[in-house]
């Protein structure tokens, strides 16, 4: 992902950061497990900021459509390419979700009230593929639902900094 216009990105991300600063006491903490996923199933509460985004169209839930990250009680950060085909009212965000099938004891959901795609998002090459989703109402934090901690402006991460990627994806590609 590349950002060609720092001022545009700053404007979009400021919306999310403003609400995140007052939540530093709860962000980025997964109290129930600190297990590294590495392509394995996670435990409930291991990644409490992970969001499963679904499309609900004409009363039918299409299932997991895209992933997102809870940045504060009102906003989810995701990829702009996820929001090109439907208006905000069709998107449902699931929080505290562990499985895509079956029951999820600690789950809650919210609809989207507004989607802000990066103004320079380019669908042909996915430049600036970032979006903010405003929730229809605030989520309540729990052991299973917490915001991620966002890096401060100007943060620099050295090569080799430990990082994680979470979400619901395929474990294999082309049979491998």
pLDDT in tens, 77-89: 999 999 998 899 9
Split into its structural domains, the chain has a count of 1
**Quick check: is 110 in a domain?**
yes
pLDDT in tens, 114-167: 999 999 999 999 999 999 999 999 999 999 999 999 999 999 999 999 888 888
- Within 13 Å of residue 2, how many CA atoms lie on the same side as its CB? 6
Scored b (16 or more CB within 10 A) or e, 73-105 reads bbbbbbbbbbbeebeeebbbbbbbbbeeeeebe
**Quick check: is 86 in a domain?**
yes
Q: What sign does the CA torsion over 103, 104, 108, 111 have?
A: negative
**Quick check: is 16 in a domain?**
yes
| CATH number, domain containing residue 74 | 2.40.10.10
Domain hosting 70: range is 6-29+47-98+105-135
**Quick check: is 118 in a domain?**
yes
């Amino acid at each position: 992902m590349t950002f060609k216009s720092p001022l545009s990105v700053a404007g979009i991300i400021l919306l999310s950061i403003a609400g995140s600063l007052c939540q530093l006491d709860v962000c980025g903490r997964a109290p129930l497990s600190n297990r590294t996923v590495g392509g394995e199933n996670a435990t409930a509460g291991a990644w409490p900021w992970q969001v499963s985004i679904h499309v609900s169209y004409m009363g039918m839930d299409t299932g997991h459509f895209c992933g997102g990250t809870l940045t504060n009680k009102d906003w989810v950060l995701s990829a702009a390419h996820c929001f090109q085909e439907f208006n905000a009212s069709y998107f449902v965000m699931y929080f505290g979700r562990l499985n895509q099938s079956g029951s999820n004891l600690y789950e809650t959901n919210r609809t989207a009230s507004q989607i802000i795609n990066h103004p320079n998002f380019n669908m042909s090459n996915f430049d600036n593929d970032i979006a903010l989703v405003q929730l229809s109402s605030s989520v309540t934090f729990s052991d299973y639902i917490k915001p991620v901690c966002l890096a401060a402006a100007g943060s620099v991460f050295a090569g080799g900094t430990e990082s994680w990627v979470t979400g619901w994806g395929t474990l294999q590609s082309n049979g491998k």
